[in-house]
């Protein structure tokens, strides 16, 4: 029975999981959740994620939420197929991957997410992006990216000379970030820029990137 992923193709968290599923060459069904109707805040979806956020995953009788936990489960379950994302054959390498997965979650995401929010959501209600919030977070993100620039000058990818789940976790939010006027933060750091161009050109991500067009559609 195929995995069922409840979410929306334009959502960066749903895309995080879909990218992982594509890297593992695993079949799945994307079950759309209508965010614009508030479907994620009501039953039956709330039974799948009491926090009312997408995505959620069903694998038989197992029900999961939190995109990073779902992706880690997928990477573990299908560790013998597709790209090696978790380096399970080397305890040391696996530990390095976990370090940079935490860095994405604790350092990178809190700085990048408010910037994206200001540029994508604020104008839809006629608000100008809050420059104070943008400035505060571009400064934070710049410091994080300085660490990345240094690391990526020594290893090809974040956890080592191998692509891993740690790199994958950065893809979907960075993709939206690169559409904003703050993209220069990535582009002006040569190792970070090269890393971004490499990981975002992977076929598994290309498959989900084209649907990530929040706020862009029109007839």
The span of 23-31, 98-106, 152-160, 178-186 binding another protein (CB under 8 A) equals: 178-186
CA distance 127 to 117: 12
HSE at residue 85, side-chain half, CA atoms within 13 A, is 29
If the CB atoms of residues 24 and 170 are measured against another protein, the closer one turns out to be: 170
User: Who contacts 80 (Cβ-Cβ below 8 Å, separation ≥6)?
Assistant: none
Kindly tell me which residue out of 27, 61, 80, 216 binds another protein, with binding defined by CB under 8 A.
216
For residue 210, state whether it binds another protein (rule: CB under 8 A). Answer: no
Residue 69 binds another protein (CB under 8 A): no
Q: How many CA atoms lie within 13 A of 181 on its CB side?
A: 6
Q: Calculate Rg over the CA atoms of the chain.
A: 17
Phi and psi at residue 4, in whole multiples of 5°?
-115, 125
Q: Is 219 in the site for another protein (CB under 8 A)?
A: yes
Sole window of 33-41, 78-86, 134-142, 157-165 interacting with another protein (rule: CB under 8 A): 33-41
The contact set with another protein (CB under 8 A) reads 12-13, 35-38, 41, 52-53, 113-114, 116-117, 119-121, 123-128, 176, 179-181, 214-219
């Amino acid at each position: 029975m195929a995995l069922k992923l409840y979410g929306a193709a334009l959502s960066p968290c749903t895309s995080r999981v879909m990218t992982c599923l594509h890297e593992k060459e695993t079949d799945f069904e994307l079950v759309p959740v209508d965010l614009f109707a508030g479907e994620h805040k009501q039953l039956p979806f709330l039974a799948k994620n009491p926090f009312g956020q997408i995505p959620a995953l069903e694998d038989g009788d197992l029900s999961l939420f939190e995109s990073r936990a779902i992706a880690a489960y997928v990477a573990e379950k299908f560790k013998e197929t597709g790209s090696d994302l978790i380096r399970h054959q080397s305890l040391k390498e696996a530990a390095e991957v976990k370090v940079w997965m935490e860095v994405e979650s604790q350092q990178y995401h809190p700085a990048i997410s408010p910037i994206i929010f200001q540029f994508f959501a604020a104008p839809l209600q006629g608000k100008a992006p809050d420059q104070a919030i943008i400035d505060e977070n571009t400064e934070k993100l710049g410091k994080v990216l300085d660490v990345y620039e240094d690391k990526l000058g020594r290893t090809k990818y974040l956890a080592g000379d191998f692509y891993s789940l740690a790199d994958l976790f950065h893809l979907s939010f960075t993709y939206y970030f690169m559409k904003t006027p703050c993209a220069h933060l990535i582009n002006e750091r040569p190792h970070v820029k090269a890393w971004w161009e490499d990981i975002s050109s992977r076929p598994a991500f290309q498959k989900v990137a084209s649907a990530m067009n929040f706020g862009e559609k029109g007839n």
